[in-house]
Amino acid sequence: MNLPTSENLLLYLSALSGTILFLFSIQSLGNEVQDIANENFRKKLAKWVQNRFSGALAGAISTAIVHSSTAITTITLALVNSGVISFHDSLGVIFGSGIGTTITAQIALLSDTPIAPILVILGFGMQFLGKKVKKYSNLVLYIGLILFSLGLVSSSIKMLSDNHVFDTLFNYFTSPLLAFVLSFFFTVLVHSSSITTGLLVIFASTGVIPPNIAIAMVLGANMGTSISSLVVTHDYSLFAKRTGYANFFFKAIGSLLFMLFLGKYTELMGVITEDVAAQVALSHLIFNLVNTLFFLVILTPFEKFIRIVVPGDDKEVLLETKYIDNRENKEFKEGIEDIKNELVYSVDNTINIYEKSFGIYYNPTERMRLEIEKYETLNDYLDEAITKALLGLSRFKLTRKMAKESVVLVKISNTIEQLGDLGLDFGNVFRRMHKSDISPDEIPLNRLTELYDKLIELFEAIKVQIKEQDKEELKKIKGYEEEIYLIIREEYDRHVQRLQDSTNYDGNVFVDAVSIIELSVSKLRDIRKLLLGFVREFNR
């Protein structure tokens, strides 16, 4: 059948526009789901991942809903990087996400049914109903558009299948290895194996691509979708990088192993069903099921392998309490002791913020910025957890001393959280220095280091007093504070004198850094006063 040139052009445009509509619908559906789920979705994902099998199930379900393992992998990487979930717990989600991608291939089998127009009409009509229904209208509409676009591509390809030019183009797909490589790069380009496999089911259903080539391309697509995770983790933490590499090796090893047995695997699909499109969709499902189950079984040695591939001695910082737990059978004294230990841990975390912020003076990298933000987020989390734990102690019949101690500890926790914010500002001063191309040599580093060291010593002294207050030691800390204030006043005087003596001197970065140290000392003084006031009232 030789169609007129104008009709051929129309069919080519229909196939292309159908493909574009398919890409748009897949991406829009993913964005829509993420917007609806948002923070609640992330919290639920974090709870599910503590067991490898429930984590895999969470990865499979969430990927099936979003239609993109890349989206779920990216979210998982961000959660690992921010400390919401650990590298170990992320592996189950990564493994399960592969299963979730198979839903698009199964949906593609429905492209010739009347479901597509029904869903499009239903989704459009839902926009005129109440808010609760309207919220989900786009989800229904985009699923309908996915099916509709695949149907458009399918009908166009069927009509073009006997066309000489079209037939010649796909005659090049005779080598499974070449097909694997081409599918790999196409998936890297579109950032979604779901898109590739959905189109492959349609191509196979029209007879354009033989089963062995289509299945090879399915395997190439699965490997191709792992590249995004390597790119995303460029500036991420060590543990997020490990998750990214785990995703790559999980998909690469599985895809390449199945390629070694492509002939036998294709024959198996032919035995199960004669429908070529179903063979391709089924091959995608079985590959991901087998690959996921295999890696879930060998998770522990695989984790060790990734730690060797991506070495490092960094400590993994997670958004979780170290001492406070949810046991309700604690006595007041035990609960207070846990809270004090948590406050000490919070101070240690705050010191980490200052240390890393000062490190920006030498190393203003994006990775350093993300690490500081993670510690600061942990600070906020600990403040909320400590406050909640102290409120939980109200179930006891409190004496005046117990009630006052609870109030003092809440105020101390809030002040530590504010110190974390100041630590973040401390790093921003040096980041601004680098962005403004101000030479670090203009800053008297030796004097700034002296002040910084004294600030950290003050942190350490206060930390001891949070655990066990000593009136005499608290009085000594006051003298230490005055010593730091004296140095700060001297530095301000030097700054004013240099401004008078030199027209080339700026010194704003140094003054900003010193000002933050001064504010930090003031916050630590507030903590010292709270502790001293409590000691004077109850421990005379």
Lowest mean pLDDT among 115-119, 252-256, 362-366, 405-409: 115-119
Q: Are 469 and 531 in contact (CB under 8 A)?
A: yes
Q: Are 93 and 117 in contact (CB under 8 A)?
A: no
Q: Are 481 and 525 in contact (CB under 8 A)?
A: yes
More confident residue, 271 or 199: 271
Give the integer Cα–Cα distance in Å for 229 and 115. Answer: 34
Q: Are 27 and 145 in contact (CB under 8 A)?
A: no
Check whether 166 has a pLDDT greater than 50. no
Domains of the chain by start residue, with CATH: 5-309 (no CATH), 332-538 (1.20.58.220)
Task: Quote the DSSP letter at residue 375.
Answer: H
Q: Is the pTM of this model over 0.75?
A: no
Nearest in space to 79 (alpha carbons), one of 70, 65, 69, 89: 89
Cβ-Cβ contacts under 8 Å for 231 (sequence gap 6 or more): none
Check whether 232 has a pLDDT greater than 90. no
* pLDDT recorded at residue 44: 65
* pLDDT recorded at residue 436: 78
Q: Are 74 and 232 in contact (CB under 8 A)?
A: yes
The per-residue pLDDT for range 39-75, each reduced to its tens digit, is 455 556 666 777 788 888 888 887 776 666 776 787 7
473: amino acid identity, one letter: E
Give the integer Cα–Cα distance in Å for 137 and 50. Answer: 33
* pLDDT recorded at residue 163: 53
Check whether 414 has a pLDDT greater than 90. yes
Give the integer Cα–Cα distance in Å for 265 and 213. Answer: 12
More confident residue, 254 or 138: 254
Distances (CA, A) of 247 to 243, 250, 302: 6, 5, 11
Q: For residue 333, give both structure tokens.
A: 């004294």
Helix (H) or strand (E) holding 513, with range, is helix 508-538
Give the integer Cα–Cα distance in Å for 187 and 228. Answer: 10
Check whether 328 has a pLDDT greater than 50. yes
Q: For residue 199, give both structure tokens.
A: 């189109």
Segment 146-160 shows an average pLDDT of 59
